[in-house]
Amino acid sequence: MTENLDIASKTRKNKLKKGRPAYVRWLVLAAGLGFAATLGIVASVIGAFYYVAPGLPPAETIREIPLQIPLRIFSRDGRLIDEVGERRRTPITYADLPKHVIDAFVAAEDRRFFVHPGVDYQGILRAGWLLAKTGEISGGGSTLTQQLARDYFLTREQIFTRKIREAFLAYKIEQEFSKQEILALFLNKMFFGQRAYGVAAAAQVYFGKNLADVNAAEAATLAGVLPAPSDYNPVTSAKKAAVRRGYVLGRMHDLDFLTDVQYADATNFPVESRLHGTASELLAPYVGEMVRQEMIKRFGEKATYSSGYKVVTTLDSTMQTAANYSLRNGLLEFTRRRGFRGAIARTEVTPEVLQQDYANWPEELQLHLGDHNNPGSLMVAVVTAIDEESNNAEVVLQTGERVSLPWHGIDWANPYFDPESFGPAPKTVAEVLLPGDFVYVMPITIGGYALAQLPLAQSALVSVDPNDGAITALAGGYDFTISKFNRVTQAIRQPGSSFKPFTYAAALHNGNSLATIVADLPVVINSAALERLWRPINYSGRFYGPQRVREALIKSMNLASVRLLLDHTGIGNTVRYLAPFGFNEGALPRNGSLALGGGNATPLDMAQAYSVFANGGYSVQPYVIDSITDATDKIVYRANPATVCRECEISKPQKFGSTPVVRSATPMRRDTRQLLDNADNPESANDDAAIAEAQSPIDLFPGVDVELLSLDQLAVLAESYRPNANEAPKLFTDVNVAPRIISEQIAYLIQDAMRDVIRRGTGIRAWRALGRNDLSGKTGTSNDGRDAWFAGFNSDMVGIVWVGYDDHKPLGPREEGSRTALPIWNQFMLRVISGRPLAAMPVPDGIITVRINKKTGCPATASDPLEQVMFEKFREDNVPECDMAIDPINLFNSSDDADDEDTTDELLQEGEEAEEQPKPDDSLF
């Protein structure tokens, strides 16, 4: 019975099996295997996660990892001067990305970027297939997010655990950041070759463009660089870059990012293959170097180059541009006067080859032409032909452009012999140039080009705001790439006669006046310090007898200046008086040469010292860094310079100045009380008459502590109330006040005398060029004409120009301050102050004007002939009291004839120089 039941059961089972289709059995098997595989994959993923999770950094730490961003230096009006650092990077946001740039990188690197969660299963399958096929882990399959994770946290080592970590990190990043943030992080982080990090820096390096200005072809070039930046960048290999660009453009077209027309245009766009420098908006390399050195002192080299500091300087872009142009143009004019030194190189190719199109030239010739640098505003060209009939030359520039040099651009080229001499003027082009000559040319304002040559002399120009010492323009030489020596701060030179105003100021401080009579007569000094018998002379070799101090300064009389120092002031008194001006000991020799600027000073030293005259007697320190911010725009430094603040001064009696008025406390006037009451009562009308009658807030509020007034009461006088430190000292406690080092009366008198230097003295070229009544200045030429200076200013700016050879050679005959340095200053000022209002120092209290006798310098009497009477300015307690019986004519024995004072202009006829060629005041003879 039991056996029969077993047989029946087996029979039923066999029937069921025979009735079930085979595919069902396979489906069941596949489902089981799939379920098992899924469980295995899930278990593997979970296991892998727990295996790598302890070593995964939080995704949000990306925000805390600083990018290596170079130091960026700006002018005060926001112009980029320079970027300094090993890595060039300009951080951008997603909003800064043009659409075709986004499309290019998505097409090239991760077409499903905006869809996947950080890891793309399609990419994983491709990588898995390659692993099964080749047995090697492929670098492909990584999404943009995975690449970002790798570059921030991992290495590029091709191992399985790194790929797992990369995938999990990518997923975590996607949970922390938006797609837009991820793409911006990616494009800021990636290396593009040629020291360019980030897509914005790469656009500048390869195309010289801002990122917003790149086109689709250039965007595809940048996207094509990423797989191998050192090989695929267009500078290393334009051919490989073109192939990669074609691939990216094809992907963009396939994904409908480009239309057929756009694709064709981008494909036909040429591949540019050259490096571009920093997108500098303002040429100020000497300032950039000053800032770099200061930043290294403050923060160290590593932080300076990579922490993303931004430095705002005190430079004004308009003034800096004017300084660059004026200095270069002045040096080019100087070198033209000294003669043509000849071609910089030659090629021996035949004239027939030179006449061919540039494209057909031998490669060696093209390379020879291209190898030359273009210093300053000059360009290198090769002479291809001489046209004797039209007397001009044909040249080819490095760009391949063929241009003509007309005779008026060549006729200056007298043959150079030595620094002291040159030959006769040429009559034909053939005397100057030959086919095959490599020469410098420069564009000219009337159009076309002119022959030029690289100056051997150098120059420095610096301008300073005299109210706080801010350096507003600085050019330390002709071209920073040729010489990084900053002559504004490092060239220690003899200031010559440009130093005289300081010794004259010391003379005024020690009781002299602009009317004091000094003898312009021979001086012989046996000086151990000078190691010889010292006989200073005037530039002209003549001497001019008794002169008023003003005239001696105006006409830069050497002998009178020495006697003023030795006989009327004293060397010790002068040195002590000038020490606060900022001069070092080398600028203040303790002998007679001090009167003639026989010490040593830099142009910046001179700018600081002249600021004292320009601002009315205060000492300010030159500075160039206004602020420093870090990569997050947090201010880490803000300059707090000592600033001229007349209202901040506590009035003190001065030795040779006016005595300040001391106000006493008095009861408040009734109308003043009414005015204050009305101010607190808006329904009451203010007493306009009381305001009109009041001469100052003290008159309006006698006996009242203005600090206790209400806001409404102060508002009544907001437009007119300007308290000083005597009236409201607490208002000025936080002001960094520049200290006064000379009286405003002396500053004004020296300033006024130097206005005459420009109006009718050695600086008359400035008057002719600028025609302004607010300018003061002084020329200077050192021993043997080795240094030429001009220092000029008004109340808003001080400008110093120096010209000379670095090896201290003489500049050459007739190269003095008025001819060599002053024209540079004129060009600078023309571009800087045109259209600006006059800025002359107002006449301070304690200055009076007195009618004097020209011969004696004493107050005039009724008996003095009218033609011998003039007006002179004095400090009110320093008007001379003279014994009119003394005849100054008999005090000195002058053998020179005199010219009329009013004909100073005759000394300044074309071709003559005013510098150090003083003309005497004929009224003294």
Q: Contact 321/283 with Cβ under 8 angstroms?
A: yes
Helix (H) or strand (E) holding 368: helix 363-370
Q: Contact 382/354 with Cβ under 8 angstroms?
A: yes
What is the four-CA torsion angle of 280, 285, 291, 294, rounded to 10 degrees? 150
User: What are the structure tokens assigned to 584, written together?
Assistant: 């070092």
Q: Contact 778/757 with Cβ under 8 angstroms?
A: yes
Burial (0-12, 13-18, 19+ Cβ within 10 Å), 889 = middle
- Max CA pair span of the chain: 172
Q: Contact 469/281 with Cβ under 8 angstroms?
A: no
Q: Determine whether 136 is an active site residue.
A: no
Phi, psi of 493 (to 5 degrees): -130, 165
Q: Which of 83, 109, 218, 551 is catalytic?
A: 109
d(CA 275, CA 238) in angstroms, rounded, equals 12
Query: Amino acid identity of 642?
Result: A
Name the percent of the chain in helix, strand, coil, to the closest 5.
Answer: 45, 15, 40
User: What are the structure tokens assigned to 490, written together?
Assistant: 């490092």
Convert 750-801 into a string of H (helix), E (strand) and C (coil).
Answer: HHHHHHHHHHHCCCHHHHHHHCCCCCEEEEEECHHHCEEEEEEECCCCEEEE
User: What are the structure tokens assigned to 239, written together?
Assistant: 């051919």
Burial (0-12, 13-18, 19+ Cβ within 10 Å), 451 = buried
**Residues contacting 814, CB < 8 A, separation 6+:** 913
DSSP helix/strand/coil, 601: strand
- Angle among Cα 527, 533, 534 to the nearest 5 degrees reads 80
Q: Contact 577/559 with Cβ under 8 angstroms?
A: no
Rg over alpha carbons for the chain, rounded to the nearest Å, is: 40
Q: Determine whether 498 is an active site residue.
A: no
Beta bridge pairs of residue 439: 381
- C-beta atoms surrounding 442 within 10 Å: 17
Helix (H) or strand (E) holding 292: helix 285-299
- Say how many CA atoms lie within 13 Å of 565 toward its Cβ: 28
Q: Contact 588/599 with Cβ under 8 angstroms?
A: yes
d(CA 68, CA 86) in angstroms, rounded, equals 9
d(CA 302, CA 310) in angstroms, rounded, equals 15
- C-beta atoms surrounding 343 within 10 Å: 18
What is the four-CA torsion angle of 474, 477, 479, 483, rounded to 10 degrees? -120
d(CA 760, CA 642) in angstroms, rounded, equals 35
**Residues contacting 320, CB < 8 A, separation 6+:** 75, 282, 283, 284, 287, 472, 473, 474, 475
User: What are the structure tokens assigned to 650, written together?
Assistant: 């506590």
Burial readout 668-693 (b: 16 or more C-beta within 10 A, e: otherwise): ebeebeebbebbeeeeeeebeebeee
Q: Which of 306, 463, 497, 923 is catalytic?
A: 497
Beta bridge pairs of residue 28: none
Q: Contact 383/395 with Cβ under 8 angstroms?
A: yes
DSSP assignments along 204-218, one per residue: HHHHSS-GGG--HHH
Instruction: Give first-to-last CA distance, the chain, whole Å.
Output: 166
As annotated, the active-site residues are 109, 497
